[in-house]
């Protein structure tokens, strides 16, 4: 479980707010995306993102401090590589959800975009959808938020 120190929680009892506090920055999300795609070196992130070195350095440090990336010295001890922790790898579903939302809502029908595929089949990764135990899709209207101190219906 992540318990990063020094985080000023926006809404301490809300999992969405805490997640946004930890990874809700554009550069952090793109670093996580690139990490999931196999990038490990500062130079790889810099080339992929086109971000200023000071911003990249700051975001990598935050991701290490927050337990999302591990900083691992290379064989020569001259440079570090970054590897996702289990908490970092657990963000795959979040990144996939953002990708799929973007595919549906951030591109026009005829506009080209990258696609995440299952290499075993070459087919696009299936759309994420919350399901009931029965397998039926669960819509926002069929859910209810139970806040701390409230009882479940």
- pLDDT at position 7: 78
Q: Could you give the number of structural domains in the chain? A: 1
Structure confidence at residue 5 (pLDDT): 66
89-135 confidence digits (pLDDT tens)? 999 999 999 999 999 999 999 999 999 999 999 999 999 999 999 99
Question: Which residues neighbour 2 within 8 Å (Cβ) at sequence distance 6 or greater?
Answer: 22, 66, 67, 68, 87
Is residue 78 domain-resident? yes
Indicate whether 41 belongs to any domain: yes
Residue 114 lies in a domain: no
d(CA 76, CA 1): 32
Q: Is residue 89 part of a domain?
A: yes
pLDDT band of residue 152 (cuts 50, 70, 90) is confident
* Structure token digits, residue 105: 């809502």
Q: What is the pLDDT of residues 6-56, one digit of tens each?
A: 778 999 899 999 999 999 999 999 999 999 999 999 999 999 999 999 999
CA distance 24 to 26: 7
Domain holding 138, by residue range, is 1-109+128-153
In this structure, what CATH number is given to the domain that contains residue 151?
1.10.10.10
Global pTM? 0.89
Which residues have a Cβ under 8 Å from the Cβ of 65 and sit 6 or more positions away? 4, 6
How confident is the model at residue 1, as a pLDDT?
Answer: 63
Distance between CA atoms of residues 27 and 43, nearest Å: 15
Is the residue at 49 inside a domain? yes
| Residue 122 within any structural domain of the chain | no
Say if 97 falls within a structural domain.
yes
The answer to the question of residue 80 being in a domain is yes
Short-list 24, 11, 12, CA closest to 94: 24
- Residue 112 CA to residue 98 CA, distance in Å, equals 17
């Amino acid at each position: 479980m992540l318990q990063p120190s020094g985080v000023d929680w926006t809404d301490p009892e809300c999992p969405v707010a805490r997640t946004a506090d930890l990874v809700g920055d554009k550069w952090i999300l793109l670093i996580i995306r690139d990490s999931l795609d196999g990038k490990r070196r500062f130079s790889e992130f810099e080339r992929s993102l086109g971000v200023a070195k000071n911003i990249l350095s700051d975001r990598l440090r935050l991701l290490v401090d927050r337990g999302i990336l591990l900083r691992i010295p290379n064989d020569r001890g001259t440079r570090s590589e970054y590897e996702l922790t289990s908490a970092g790898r657990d963000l795959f579903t979040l990144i996939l959800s953002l990708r799929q939302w973007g595919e549906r809502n951030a591109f026009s029908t005829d506009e080209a975009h990258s696609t995440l595929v299952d290499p075993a089949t070459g087919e696009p990764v299936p759309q994420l959808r919350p399901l009931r135990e029965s397998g039926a899709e669960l819509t926002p209207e069929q859910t209810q938020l139970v806040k701390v101190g409230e009882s479940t219906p």
